[in-house]
A = this chain, B = another copy of it.
Amino acid sequence: MVISKCRCCRTLAPADRGGGGSSPASGGPVDAELLADLAAASRILADQGVVDAFGHVSMRHPAAPDRFLMSRSLAPALVTPGDIVEYSLDCAAYEGDERPGFLERFIHGEIYRARPDVMSVVHSHSPSVIPFGLVEAPMRAMFHNAAFLAGGVPVFDISKKFGATDMLVGNPEKGVALAEVLGERPVVLMRAHGSVAVGPDLQSAVFRAVYTEVNARIQHQTTLYGGPVAALTPEEGVLADEVNMKAGHRAWTLWTKRVGR
């Protein structure tokens, strides 16, 4: 394991810049409050046990739909607004920003490209969720806070298309394949890897990432009893999710307070 002496090394190898080509121009300045929200989201996901040293959250650039914002490669608990980098959908960093990025930022870029409705993406290895990428039993919505799962949770198995790999969504092609399996859903599982949650805004994507993990723990306990499970129906899921999208701000208020924003 190579521990770089300089933790803010700025030599970004060209191969690391995504789809090649020259550095894109910026989508324009971003409100400092939004950057603080995005950095807080990163720390919230760590505080809530969704990410550990790995995982990342991004948001689409508010003024430029073909740009997104995401921390440089860094443990989520340590992210501050100054760590945020602007990327094109090809995952190339804004001109002059040579700080190393996450290897898997293609998850974000390709989902933003495929899903105009998505404004924020969370990728994690949320531990209790991983089993559902490994077994045949589908993830289901155990309670109303996880209503967004009631429409079904697809599983992306990277080996189907790419054979034996390092499991990472480390190039645009793999990002496209993942986005295809995600389809119009809010969550996609990744076999032997983790999951992705998306939303129409930053708060919703974080909310979904957190409650996907909570729901997974509840489903594990429920499974102990065998027999039928009276999970949320798809119809109930739609109705309950509408409320979550409004009432969920209570969670954001609490979570930001916990991480000091």
Contacts and interface: CB of A to CB of B under 8 A. Distances in A.
Interface of A: 1-4, 7, 52-54, 73-75, 77-78, 103, 125, 127-128, 130-131, 133-137, 141-145, 147, 157, 159, 164-168, 191-194, 199-201, 203-204, 207, 214, 216-218, 220-233, 235-236, 239-240, 242-255, 257
Which of A125, A135, A194, A242 counts the most chain B CB atoms within 10 A?
Answer: A135
13 contacts: A1-B201, A1-B203, A1-B252, A3-B203, A53-B250, A53-B251, A75-B251, A130-B143, A134-B142, A134-B222, A143-B167, A157-B230, A167-B240
A157 to B, nearest CB: 7
Copies of chain A in the complex: 4
Contacts of A78: 253-254, 257
Given A52-B214, A131-B225, 16 more contacts: A1-B204, A1-B244, A53-B251, A73-B250, A133-B230, A134-B229, A134-B230, A143-B194, A144-B166, A144-B167, A144-B192, A144-B193, A157-B230, A166-B242, A167-B232, A192-B236
Contacts of A226: 135
